[in-house]
Amino acid sequence: MLPSATEIMHSLDLTQNLVGRSRKCDYPICISNLPTVTFAHVHPKAPSHMIDRDCQSQRLRQSLSLYGIREDRIRELAPDYVITQTQCKVCAVSLNDVKTFLKNGLGGTVDLLALTPNTLDKVWDNIWRTSAPA
C-alpha cells in the first residue's frame, strides 16, 4: 500500500510476489498491471485549491485518512502480507485503517509489515524487514 514498499520489493527481486499495489505505485512499470488496493477520498485530478479545501474542511478536521482501502479487492487477492507505513495518513492509508481492516475484514489472517522510515538507519532496517518479513 505504499510506492516505496513496492520499489523495495522490486529492488530485492521480489516483484513476482506482489499481488496488488497502491493507486500511487508506478514503478517498476511491470507492476502497472497489478490491481490497485487503495483509492483517494478526494478527487486526485481536481485543481489543487479544491483538493486543499476538501482536505482541510472535510477529511483532516475529522481526523480521517485521505485514502481508503479497496476491501473487496484485497479479499479477492488473498495476500499473505500487507506492507504499509506508519508515517502519515496524508500520504497513504492510515495505519489504523489498515489494522482495523486486517482484523475485522480479514479476520486477522494476514500479516502486517508497517514500515517506519524516520531515519536513514530506519530505511535500511525497513529494507531488511521487507526482505524477511516472517
Q: Which runs of consecutive H residues, i.e. helices, occur in the chain?
A: 3-11, 48-54, 71-77, 95-100, 120-131
> Each residue of 80-127: pLDDT tens digit?
999 988 877 667 788 888 999 999 988 888 999 888 877 888 888 878
Residue with cell 495476500: 79
Cα–Cα distances in Å, from 125 out to 89, 91, 101, 121, 132? Answer: 22, 21, 26, 6, 11
Q: Does the global pTM surpass 0.85?
A: no
Class of domain 3-131: alpha beta
> Each residue of 2-50: pLDDT tens digit?
888 899 899 999 999 999 999 989 999 999 999 999 998 777 777 888 7
**Measured distance CA(100)–CA(49) in Å, rounded:** 31
Domain parsing of the chain, residue ranges: 3-131
